[in-house]
Structure 1
């Protein structure tokens, strides 16, 4: 793994992505204790100020789907209203599917996930989610009104490109001397798992994928071919991604170009045929790993 890592780190763009991700993971680690403490206090505040939340339990095993939470039992309906009262962004899209409402009376973390972007359903604590989720929580929940919100928004919306020294971009040994190789490998795997998960959610939720999503997926496949050891370590996640891709191709199979025009992939048209097409907007950024270059970009 270490020899392959050194080769990957000799690519300036990929190394930049790893460094930026490593910094974000450190921010996440510093926020964990603070977020846990504040959400526990917030949870106790909700229970103390509404006796209905303390007296009952969910009897319907309510399970929301995505942004929809219909047919909630009386208790979960009260919880919904209380949670929304403390949302700082009115009429914002709420990913109710992130959480398990029957656990709201007992677990502060299940309440916290309502204030986060999609993809948090399986996270069991702040240490298991990315920093973007925690920053969104701080921005969206008025429990954190004492925090300078605009500063948090600036951090959350940053592109996080790390400035590289001229020699740093081609010297993997310099990076591995500064930071333990095991730490770098761990950070790299976490970043790739997050990226795969985000692309899976995008393919499952969006009716039409942007061309850049497809190019990014194809580039990732080529990346894995060149890094077999990584492919073996990420086997479970990669198989999940391919299964989602297969379902998408046999389901919607719609691609959107930069001009907004959509088209369906024909039955005999593979995703690799997207290589010659371009298109990207803000919705692509999280699912298009900046450290992985598309083969067309390498030729420019």
Structure 2
């Protein structure tokens, strides 16, 4: 069966661009998983070899509170100092709430999460992290200083523009700039097999047409041209299945982000996402838990606004 709902959405050029750009981020994420895991394991081992006291276990089962790390034990305090020493912007916000400090001496990925955006607490490995988390790791941990940080930051900027784009729409000029930013970053990692494979998938995505023509031809008596059309439709079904899965994954990531950062701007985006899912029942059905959650958050926000005292 032809994916009519997806086909209709892809008739909107702005949305098709948005979806293509987002899927490129999913491919980039896959390419960075093994690379960042290997590099952070190496970084962790280097820290332990240079400072044997970091091998000692946590003495108080230290844990952050409200994204801050208070009254940590002497071991975790030393880890904190080491993390800041290797942070490219130590005066900025460090999301200690991502970490379980008592595991810093044992788990290289608990160390990695100190260099990531909020919301990574439950992620126990690189394969659980999205592109934003991994790109921020490259940007904020000086172990990756051999990578041109300006190129990393430009991709982060494009990613943020994409995920906060009004109505999930981006234009052709934006796509050209985005493609150039991706290519310039990936050029630095061509020696990493997983990144090279991701680069191929990104190129394939950016150059794909993603269109199908359905004419209602009677298959009993078809010309060669008609059979070719049906073959194209069959190929589209295969592609559409993958595109649909990526679409849901990308929207789920966006929904989780707006739920986690429920400020005024995110609230407006949350409402737009809710309206989009209601207007596209095939997506609303697959994302029904997230749809229920943002509906509940929306009602809670309205009640809070109504209960706020009126100021003179």
Cross-structure match for 2:291:
238
**Inter-partner Cα distance in structure 2 for 1:61 and 1:183:** 44
- CA offset at residue 243 of structure 1? 3.8
Cross-structure match for 1:34:
35
User: Any unmatched runs of 5+ in structure 1?
Assistant: 254-264, 269-300
**Inter-partner Cα distance in structure 1 for 2:84 and 2:110:** 14
User: Any unmatched runs of 5+ in structure 2?
Assistant: 163-169, 176-206, 214-232
SS in 2 for 1:63: coil
Q: Does 1:184 align with 2:243?
A: yes
Cα deviation, 1:49-79, whole Å, max 9, x if unaligned, reads 1222112x22433221343111222221111
Question: Is this contact kept in 1: 2:258–2:269, CA < 8 A?
Answer: no
SS in 2 for 1:180: helix
Paired residues, what number?
Answer: 246
**Inter-partner Cα distance in structure 1 for 2:271 and 2:209:** 25
Q: Which moved more, 1:5-14 or 1:76-85?
A: 5-14
Q: Does 1:119 align with 2:119?
A: yes
Cross-structure match for 1:200:
259
Cα deviation, 1:132-183, whole Å, max 9, x if unaligned, reads 2111111111111111111111222124656389xx9997438984982222
- CA offset at residue 192 of structure 1? 0.8
What is the TM-score with the length of structure 1 in the denominator? 0.73
Q: Does 1:163 align with 2:172?
A: yes
Query: Which is higher, the Rg of structure 1 or of structure 2?
Result: 2
Question: Is this contact kept in 2: 1:19–1:162, CA < 8 A?
Answer: no
**Inter-partner Cα distance in structure 2 for 1:155 and 1:162:** 17
**Inter-partner Cα distance in structure 2 for 1:151 and 1:179:** 34
Change (3 A) 1:178 1:89: farther
Cross-structure match for 2:282:
229
Cα deviation, 1:16-48, whole Å, max 9, x if unaligned, reads 111000111111111112111110000101111
**Inter-partner Cα distance in structure 2 for 1:63 and 1:140:** 22
- CA offset at residue 7 of structure 1? 1.8
**Inter-partner Cα distance in structure 2 for 1:73 and 1:243:** 40
Mapping 1:251-262, distance limit 5 Å = 253=304
**Inter-partner Cα distance in structure 2 for 1:142 and 1:170:** 40
Change (3 A) 1:23 1:178: farther
Cross-structure match for 1:73:
73
Question: Is this contact kept in 1: 2:139–2:149, CA < 8 A?
Answer: yes
What is the TM-score with the length of structure 2 in the denominator? 0.70
